């Protein structure tokens, strides 16, 4: 178990030594494409245009070499850029922005580049799960008590990491008082300013006026830290439970065959049903492994 913890490090070493020893190592040879074959649950990332597939004759080049720091190499011809990529240890030239003039390319180890993108995409996906839009609605004639109730629920939603849409609704001719609606939302913005920021100014939508608030960075960070800690203790619990189950299984097999065995099996099945929230991710972390490294080693 213990040594598996070092697998991600090993992964980098293997990839970079490959890049170094075999300058021809490039996804076009099929290796990386297979290596990063998309798995269920994994965000889709398009394979970029790279190396000889790049059409532009002149490009702006950034190199990502040691330490992951980017270095601007300026504008050069495609031929020079390809030579530079080779010179830097058989790296790939990856088109990262074809909208720019000239297009921007990055010299990097494609496997590492891809790995970082996937890591980022995964993190984004994880963080966006809790980010919902909650709505609080009110009339422009709202009284103090009702206003406080709306304010409190907005604060609660924000502190959970959600965005909040506050809407002031008007009926029929009430719309002539829309300045009161704008004032109300500005007041709400001030009252909520310790926990959130305005995503934009109050806007009119038909008869409504609304504004969207999003949690301040420190609130989001607290929410994410909290979630991470919960995930961690959940995983710890799963690991413990798994160990207990294994110990239990060993124990029962040591006992001579008797009717109890069937009961144990039943218990285990019930147990599995409760466990449906063990997803691939938590299993991976239980095993201290991940799919990318699995694929790497099964090649």
Chain residues in the site for ligand NAG (CB under 6 A): 135, 137, 167, 169, 205-208
Between 98 and 135, name the residue whose CB sits nearer to ligand NAG: 135
Between 141 and 228, name the residue whose CB sits nearer to ligand NAG: 141
Task: Give the C-alpha distances (Å, rounded to integers) separating 209 from 189, 212, 294.
Answer: 14, 11, 53
Least distance between ligand NAG and beta carbon 183 (Å): 18
- SS3 breakdown of the chain: % helix, strand, coil, rounded to 5? 55, 20, 25
Residues 6+ apart with CB under 8 A from 114: 32, 36, 45
Between 104 and 211, name the residue whose CB sits nearer to ligand NAG: 211
Least distance between ligand NAG and beta carbon 207 (Å): 6
Check if the beta carbon of residue 96 is closer than 8 Å to that of residue 105: yes
Helix axes 217-254, 144-159, angle to 10 degrees: 60
Helix (H) or strand (E) holding 96, with range, is strand 92-97
176 φ, ψ (degrees, to nearest 5): -60, -15
Least distance between ligand NAG and beta carbon 163 (Å): 15
Least distance between ligand NAG and beta carbon 239 (Å): 45
Closest C-alpha to 16, from 296, 287, 299, 298:
296
Q: How long is the chain?
A: 299
How far is the C-alpha of 135 from the C-alpha of 209, rounded, in Å?
Answer: 13
Between 67 and 172, name the residue whose CB sits nearer to ligand NAG: 172
Determine the residue with CB nearest ligand NAG.
206
Between 54 and 136, name the residue whose CB sits nearer to ligand NAG: 136
- Cα atoms found within 13 Å of the Cα of residue 254, Cβ hemisphere only: 6
Least distance between ligand NAG and beta carbon 229 (Å): 35
Between 153 and 167, name the residue whose CB sits nearer to ligand NAG: 167
Least distance between ligand NAG and beta carbon 23 (Å): 59
Residues 6+ apart with CB under 8 A from 109: 15, 16, 19, 91, 92
Between 93 and 188, name the residue whose CB sits nearer to ligand NAG: 188
Least distance between ligand NAG and beta carbon 232 (Å): 38
Least distance between ligand NAG and beta carbon 155 (Å): 19
Torsion of CA 253, 257, 263, 267, to 10 degrees: 10
Torsion of CA 34, 36, 42, 48, to 10 degrees: -110
Q: Is 83 helix (H, G, I), strand (E, B) or coil?
A: helix
Check if the beta carbon of residue 165 is closer than 8 Å to that of residue 154: no
């Amino acid at each position: 178990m213990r040594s598996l913890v070092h697998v991600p490090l090993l992964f980098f070493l293997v990839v970079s030594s490959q890049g170094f020893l075999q300058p021809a190592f490039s996804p076009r040879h099929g290796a990386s494409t297979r290596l990063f074959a998309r798995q269920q649950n994994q965000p889709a990332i398009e394979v970029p245009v790279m190396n000889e597939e790049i059409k532009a004759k002149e490009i702006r080049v950034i190199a990502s070499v040691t330490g992951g720091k980017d270095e601007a190499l300026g504008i050069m011809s495609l031929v020079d850029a390809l030579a530079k990529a080779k010179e830097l240890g058989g790296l790939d030239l990856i088109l990262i922005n074809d909208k720019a003039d000239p297009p921007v390319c990055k010299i990097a180890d494609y496997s590492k580049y891809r790995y970082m993108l996937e890591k980022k995409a995964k993190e984004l996906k994880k963080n966006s799960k809790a980010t919902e839009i909650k709505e609080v609605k009110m009339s422009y004639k709202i009284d103090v008590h009702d206003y406080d109730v709306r304010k409190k629920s907005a604060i609660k939603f924000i502190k959970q990491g959600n965005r909040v849409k506050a809407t002031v609704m008007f009926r029929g001719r009430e719309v002539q008082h829309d300045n009161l609606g704008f004032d109300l939302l500005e007041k709400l913005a001030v009252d909520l300013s310790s926990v959130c920021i305005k995503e934009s100014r109050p806007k009119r939508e038909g008869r409504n006026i609304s504004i969207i608030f999003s949690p301040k960075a420190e609130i989001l960070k607290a929410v994410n830290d909290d979630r991470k800690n919960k995930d961690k203790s959940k995983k710890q619990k799963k690991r413990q439970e798994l160990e207990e189950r294994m110990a239990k299984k060993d124990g029962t097999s040591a006992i001579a065959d008797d009717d109890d065995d069937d009961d144990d099996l039943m218990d285990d099945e019930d147990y599995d049903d409760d466990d449906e929230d063990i997803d691939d991710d938590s299993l991976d972390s239980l095993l201290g492994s991940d799919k990318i490294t699995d694929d790497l080693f099964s090649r």
